[in-house]
A and B are shown apart, each in its own frame.
Chain A
Amino acid sequence: QQQVKQSPQSLIVQKGGIPIINCAYENTAFDYFPWYQQFPGKGPALLIAIRPDVSEKKEGRFTISFNKSAKQFSLHIMDSQPGDSATYFCAAGSARQLTFGSGTQLTVLP
């Protein structure tokens, strides 16, 4: 089974802190690695994504770091805000299908 392992399960940081969420995948054929953000009662929404030909991608306060040799990637949230409190999912896959991690519940304290 093509798993994507995500950690930690939950994370609490102070406002302005830099939470880091990590994911590891198994299938070397995967070529697309997105992160999704989900607020309570809503569907997940695409936050940022990276392809394996780059090691880092930044969009606003959100950065993905990608380590192809280790088959790991992570999400960093710079200057985190209480409004960033949500559940974050990593995913990995290819043209036909994505496999999702189990999710990280992030709480940013004011």
Chain B
Amino acid sequence: DAGITQSPRHKVTETGTPVTLRCHQTENHRYMYWYRQDPGHGLRLIHYSYGVKDTDKGEVSDGYSVSRSKTEDFLLTLESATSSQTSVYFCAISDRTQPANYGYTFGSGTRLTVV
């Protein structure tokens, strides 16, 4: 999607290893979000950020950490990957300065498999 890229697109990792997913935006949006998507659960919020070094937990934050040292980058780290973290991870950005801009723009996702 224009303005937001996720890397890697696919990753297979072993149980117990740390994994970092990257979200990069060129829109200069203040708000960034990490979601995971699983069948039957829709999109569940992991962590979000309202600005540089300003982050907060979502509903499924256990086992995940985030960092945002620059406006354009939002990193999601699985501290010690488990099979339950096998999922598709989406990053989203939002302007949210006005109600008309509340909508999110999503990246193309990262498919993570923990074996």
Report which A residues bind B (CB closer than 8 A).
1, 6, 9, 31-32, 34, 36, 41-46, 49, 51, 89, 93-103
Name 14 interchain pairs, CB-CB below 8 A, sorted by A.
A6-B42, A32-B99, A34-B102, A43-B108, A44-B90, A44-B106, A49-B102, A49-B103, A51-B99, A94-B102, A96-B50, A96-B96, A97-B45, A98-B104
Q: Which residues of A contact B44 (CB under 8 A)?
A: 100
Among A1, A32, A45, A95, find the residue whose CB has the most chain B CB atoms closer than 10 A: A95
**A interface SS class:** loop
1/0 per residue B50-90: CB within 8 Å of A? 10000000010000000000000000000000000000001
Contact A43 B102 (CB under 8 A): no
Q: Write the chain A residue with the least CB distance to B106.
A: A43
Whole-angstrom distance from the CB of B57 to the nearest CB of chain A? 11
Contact B99 A43 (CB under 8 A): no
Whole-angstrom distance from the CB of B94 to the nearest CB of chain A? 8
Q: Write the chain B residue with the least CB distance to A1.
A: B59
Q: Which residues of B contact A103 (CB under 8 A)?
A: 42-43
A100 and B102 in contact, given A42-B108, A43-B107, A95-B96 (Cβ under 8 angstroms): no
Q: Which residues of A contact B107 (CB under 8 A)?
A: 43
A89 and B103 in contact, given A1-B59, A43-B109, A95-B96 (Cβ under 8 angstroms): no
